[in-house]
């Protein structure tokens, strides 16, 4: 598929081969250290330098959810005020004790602190608790929407958006395990509801970029619990439908 960029973060991750027909460009970052689940901010700056400055694709695949913090790099490339909308079973706005680092569970807090054009964050699928502490002074910028409210309350979600533009970040653990497999506990949402929400929000607010993560990492546990070929085929089809929907509204 055209205009989709894949972040290849680990030599052990062969998803670049699994999804080779679903992306047009690959950014190889396997040489970078200290990037799994957590990442020093200076390494994020290095990643940003490696993105082509003459060309800005609008759709990115980040691979495993442990690299969800890569969204920060993409948000920094935007040039106009925007609202960040995430579909995620987890609250990635958790407090993090190391000021010179960010993580897959705290990157939204980092974005609030370091991305001045991001005016508001709407987190769909997680609640403000979700096992994590979020700073109280962020309450006027973070809005949590239960996934049980999404199919019927898309208009209410749309009214929370006060900027012209939106950016979407989708973690596949928002979806039910019957839909796709990840390495994290997952929500109960159907793919059709996610695609409907993408189309509705993007039709009412210009979508200036998007990324997807939540790929499965194959290790001893997953190899013993899942049938690899069937799981990969399911994953490819889900990614294809998400990418197609996003491509149509970008």
Structure tokens at 147: 């996934």
CATH 3.40.800.10 fits 4-249, yes or no: yes
pLDDT of residue 130: 56
Cβ within 8 Å of residue 68, ≥6 positions away: 62, 88, 92, 104, 107, 169, 171, 213
Average pLDDT across the chain, whole number: 89
Place of tokens 């442990």: 66
Place of tokens 């012209």: 164
pLDDT of residue 21: 83
User: Helix axis angle, 191-204 relative to 228-249, nearest 10°?
Assistant: 20
Sheet holding 118-124, edge to edge: 25-28, 4-8, 59-64, 207-215, 165-171, 82-87, 118-124, 142-145
Place of tokens 């790929």: 215
Please state the φ and ψ torsions of residue 88, each to the nearest 5 degrees. Answer: -160, 140
Please state the φ and ψ torsions of residue 147, each to the nearest 5 degrees. Answer: -65, -20
pLDDT of residue 57: 75
Q: Where are the domains of the chain?
A: 4-249
Cβ within 8 Å of residue 206, ≥6 positions away: 164, 165, 166
Positions of the chain with pLDDT lower than 70, given as ranges:
1, 13-16, 54-56, 127-137, 149
pLDDT of residue 133: 61
Among 5, 1, 50, CA closest to 209: 5
C-alpha span between 49 and 62 (Å, rounded): 17
- For 124, how many CA atoms within 13 A lie in the half-sphere containing its CB? 30
pLDDT of residue 152: 77
pLDDT of residue 221: 83
Under DSSP, is residue 220 helix (H, G, I), strand (E, B) or coil? Answer: helix
Beta bridge partners of 60: 5, 211
Residue 57's CB is within 10 A of a number of other CB atoms, namely 18
Residue 74 · residue 209 · CB < 8 Å: yes
Over the stretch 50-75, which tens digit does the pLDDT of each residue have? 988 766 678 999 999 999 999 999 99
C-alpha span between 50 and 40 (Å, rounded): 16
pLDDT of residue 146: 83
Structure tokens at 97: 């004790």
- For 75, how many CA atoms within 13 A lie in the half-sphere containing its CB? 30
4-8 and 25-28 beta bridge pairing: parallel
Among 49, 66, 61, CA closest to 103: 66
pTM of the model: 0.94
């Amino acid at each position: 598929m055209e205009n989709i960029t894949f972040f290849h973060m680990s030599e052990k991750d062969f998803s670049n081969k699994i999804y080779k027909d679903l992306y047009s460009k690959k950014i190889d970052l396997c040489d970078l250290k200290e990037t799994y689940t957590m990442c020093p901010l200076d390494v994020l700056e290095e990643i940003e330098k490696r993105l082509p400055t003459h060309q800005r694709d609008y759709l990115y695949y980040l691979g495993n959810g442990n690299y969800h913090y890569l969204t920060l790099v993409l948000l920094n490339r935007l040039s106009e005020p925007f609202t960040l909308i995430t579909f995620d079973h987890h609250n990635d706005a958790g407090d993090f004790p190391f000021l010179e680092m960010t993580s897959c569970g705290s990157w939204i807090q980092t974005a609030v602190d370091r991305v001045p054009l991001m005016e508001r964050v709407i987190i769909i699928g997680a609640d403000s608790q979700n096992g994590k502490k979020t700073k109280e002074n962020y309450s006027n910028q973070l809005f949590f929407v239960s996934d049980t409210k999404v199919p019927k309350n898309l208009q209410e979600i749309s009214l929370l958006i006060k900027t012209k533009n939106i950016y979407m970040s989708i973690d596949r653990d928002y979806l039910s395990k019957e839909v796709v497999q990840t390495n994290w506990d997952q929500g109960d949402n159907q793919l059709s509801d996610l695609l409907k929400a993408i189309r509705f929000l993007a039709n009412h607010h210009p979508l200036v970029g998007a990324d997807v993560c939540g790929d499965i990492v194959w290790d001893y546990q997953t190899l013993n619990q899942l049938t690899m070929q069937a799981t990969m085929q399911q994953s490819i089809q889900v990614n294809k439908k998400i990418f197609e929907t996003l491509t149509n509204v970008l």
